[in-house]
Chain A
């Protein structure tokens, strides 16, 4: 079993026990220590065993992006331990200790921020633990700490020839004072950071032994399925559960705010019970919208002024005076996250306390929502982190929908562990979609073909409006415009406006959030302007990037490696795009082949990325490849279409994901850097669709402005 969880109470108990499972630093309990900054409290993040095992407590969920290797790498670097003795466990929900430092006091994973927020914190944790081990050895050997060297988990005093493994001083180190300041390494001395250390989670993920929520079991555990309404906003009017209860193995049927739960001894029994339910839905407040109508409304809105997100110069005046103007609408559907592991959670409610085990991504959000739903104090809630089989944002839900559902069922069955399982159909119909968006862009060129003006209206639901504390409705939600409101092309007159209509369709962040559509609009329209001006798309971008060297550098690198400008045979085309998101710059050059019937394939994508220090280049490459594939999947066929409020897609036959044969060759080039590391989970997604669309234009002269691209002709 590979269950990655630390129960905070166990953790404290282990820390205080003599002899085994020693935790560095004694000051675990007590108010004074609770107030101490977590960044310099090593026991919160590092545990060293007498057997030399170094356990790193990782505050961010592992759902593929490599946090369970990346953060331990940074600790190990400063600790100078032996990498083969390092293991990772997920931190408990405890915002006081495990907050995301980019998010104030909130705990959670998102915005490609794990390494970016935790890098210095993890370095300090490792360096502090190292200093305490050295201090303990110095005391025992009666030498000065400065005379002790540390290498791969061994403390050594050269002059006296003494040496010891970390484990031998793990107990003694606990009695040492926690140093206030510790020196961090010169990056030139890094031995782990910047190298392809083996991912810690790979062996268990290659032989079926890794434990996800779907696999987690407790004694006597029941399985629950919930019958959900097909329309958002509908509720339960009446239930006839006699037939469901008659199914052998069905234990309970419960009416919840979100539907009707059937609790049974196992999945298949619960499913039979669910099928036997007769539920009459109350649809008086149900959503009856259709995607086509929404798009029509958005077109109307796009003709009207919106909230101003950016106003450089006088775009309207410059457009009126321009020699050439160009107009384009870009359309984006609702998208589902469709993680391979459908949403699920294990919960047990006992003696007024809730304990859960699942792929928890937004600990602070979930603690708040669970506390309100069950009417218990957050202190009565324990959340244990398990591996998640993907998320792409879905597991960080504003209302903690699936977690609350599981908790309500558990509360109704005190003392019984219950696993809530959403089927694929539940998962795809549950909403929390990437919002449908319409972009309307008008650009102006002067007689010499210079880009003078850019006027850009974006219509789409605000994602942040769903937050427990939403921003005011009369303010621009930056997630609606990010990537357009802040592009750095030196265009004198730029105006970006936002319409954020309120609809009864739940939306959520989806890998790279607003950049999923803004990058497409900006990088496609720039390509359109370049062609209208008779300019090379690379040359025009370079010329406009006068004051953004890192963006220009990734653009140049991708273009060079892709052979930009070299001739291609007929039917083939090359396109590029560059985008900055989550503090990381990514440029992509795509090569496509378009057949006579308009079908096309993406043959090759060259990626250049600047993410500051690349902690583990192999993981960076994997995230770039994965981001390209994820974006290509959406481009080729993903769309959730609502008709009269009902999602028309509910499994992979109607919501097709990218398959192996559709995956292009992806070549990744990492810009060498000593800058603070930034995210890699999301930033490869935004440039892909515009690069492919621009490549199709280069091959065919046809401009595609509506996603997904079902055909190039």
Chain B
């Protein structure tokens, strides 16, 4: 049994230490907002925060997380997170929606570090998150909108 803190709640988890955090969250803790899409840190759909920094949960073994706190889309409730979610809804970013948890998490990470990113900074920060529906135009606008809401 390992101790894992997710969204400020402590859990005793039975998954083996080599299990990627993604599958601990999804299969053991039932937190399915974090998505599986590539399993190799190529698409960003599984983005979560570990100790406040974005990581790809699909390639992060449980053992590497240790006692550092994990935040998933379900627990992201900072002022920035609220603004991002509001902007995502206002601009109707999602189409199929499968990648959007990861997109939202990357947008939150960007705005936590840079409250007023320019277009190039937005592209750079969001480039690791694939969207097969190509909702990128609205993603860009939603990030800018969230920045406005935070200003």
- Chain A positions within 8 Å of B, measured between CB atoms, are 63-66, 198-199, 201-212, 214-215, 217, 223, 266-268, 338-342, 387-390, 392, 421, 423-424, 618, 622-623, 625-626, 628-630, 632-633, 651-653, 657-661, 663, 665-666
Main secondary structure of the interface of B (DSSP, over half): loop
From B33, B34, B45, B92, contact of A209 by CB (8 A) = B33
**Given the known A-B contacts A267-B23, A651-B38, A666-B137, are A660 and B33 also in contact in the complex, defined by CB atoms under 8 Å?**
no
Residues on B facing A (Cβ under 8 Å)? 15-16, 19-20, 23, 26-28, 30, 32-40, 42-43, 45, 72-74, 85, 88-89, 92-101, 104, 122-124, 126-127, 129-140
* Other-chain residue from B15, B43, B92 in contact with A268 (beta carbon distance below 8 A): B15
In whole angstroms, what is the CA distance A306 to B104 when docked? 51
- Check if A208 sits within 8 Å of B132, measured CB to CB: no
In the assembly, what is the distance between CA of A651 and CA of B41, in Å?
Answer: 10
Question: Which B residues are CB-close (under 8 A) to A267?
Answer: 23, 26-27, 36
* CB–CB B27/A653 < 8 A: no
Compute how far the CA of A387 lies from the CA of B137 in the bound complex, rounded to whole angstroms. 23
**Identity of the chain A residue whose Cβ is nearest the Cβ of B72 in the assembled complex:** A208
Given contacts A338-B132, A652-B43, A661-B123, contact A215 B32 (CB under 8 A): yes
| A226 vs chain B, min Cβ distance (A) | 15
Interface contacts beyond A205-B97, A390-B133: sample of 20 additional A-B pairs, CB < 8 Å, sorted by A: A206-B100, A207-B33, A215-B32, A217-B32, A339-B132, A340-B37, A340-B133, A341-B35, A421-B36, A424-B39, A629-B136, A651-B42, A652-B130, A657-B132, A658-B130, A658-B136, A659-B136, A660-B136, A660-B140, A661-B126
Q: Is the CB of B127 within 8 A of A660?
A: yes
Docked-complex contact B130 and A341, CB < 8 angstroms = no
* Inter-chain contact B96/A64, CB cutoff 8 Å: yes
Which residue of B27, B33, B93, B134 has the most chain A CB atoms within 10 A of its CB atom?
Answer: B134
Residues of B within 8 A of A217 (CB): 30, 32
> CB distance B34 to A208 under 8 Å?
yes
12 A-B pairs whose Cβ atoms sit less than 8 Å apart in the complex: A65-B95, A201-B94, A206-B88, A208-B104, A217-B30, A266-B15, A267-B36, A340-B99, A389-B35, A389-B96, A392-B132, A660-B122
Q: Report chain B residues within 8 Å CB of A268.
A: 15-16, 19-20, 23, 27
A198, A206, A339, A661 — which one has the most chain B CB atoms within 10 A of its CB?
A206
Q: A202-B89, A206-B94, A206-B104 are in contact. Are A340 and B39 (CB under 8 A)?
A: no
Cα of A692 to Cα of B93 in the assembled complex, Å:
25
A341 contacts B94, C-beta separation under 8 Å: no
Asked if A202 and B37 sit within 8 Å, CB to CB, the answer is no
Q: Considering only CB atoms, which chain B residue lies closest to A216 in the complex?
A: B32
Give the residues in chain B near A653, CB-CB below 8 Å: 40, 42
Cβ of B36: which chain A residues have Cβ within 8 Å of it? 214, 267, 342, 421
The CA-CA distance from A206 to B73 in the complex, in Å, is: 9
Instruction: Known A209-B33, A387-B97; judge A629-B39 contact (CB<8 A).
Output: no
Q: Which of A207, A267, A340 has the most CB of B within 10 A?
A: A340
Contact A389 B98 (CB under 8 A): yes
Report if A340-B94 is in contact (Cβ < 8 Å); known contacts: A214-B32, A223-B27.
no
Q: CB distance A663 to B136 under 8 Å?
A: yes
CB-based contact A214/B35 at 8 Å:
yes
Q: A65-B95, A205-B97, A267-B23 are in contact. Are A626 and B123 (CB under 8 A)?
A: no
B136 touches A424 (CB 8 A): no
B130 touches A340 (CB 8 A): yes
A657 close to B28 (CB less than 8 A): no
For B45, give the chain A residue with the smallest CB separation: A340
Given contacts A424-B38, A653-B42, A390 and B89 within 8 Å (CB-CB)? no
Nearest A residue (CB) for B19:
A268
B130 CB contacts on chain A under 8 angstroms: 340, 652, 657-659
- B134 cross-chain contacts in A, Cβ below 8 A: 625-626, 628-630, 632-633, 658, 663
Closest to B100 in A: A205
User: Chain B contacts of A201 at CB under 8 A?
Assistant: 94, 97
Distance, CA A423 to CA B40, complexed state (A): 11
Shortest C-beta distance, A262 to chain B (Å), equals: 15
Is the CB–CB distance between B96 and A63 below 8 Å? yes
Residues of chain A with a CB closer than 8 A to B122's CB? 660
CA distance A208 to B140 in the complex (A): 19
Whether A622 contacts B89 by the Cβ 8 Å rule is no
> Separation in Å of the A586 CB from the closest CB of chain B?
15
Which chain A residues border B100 with CB–CB below 8 Å?
205-206
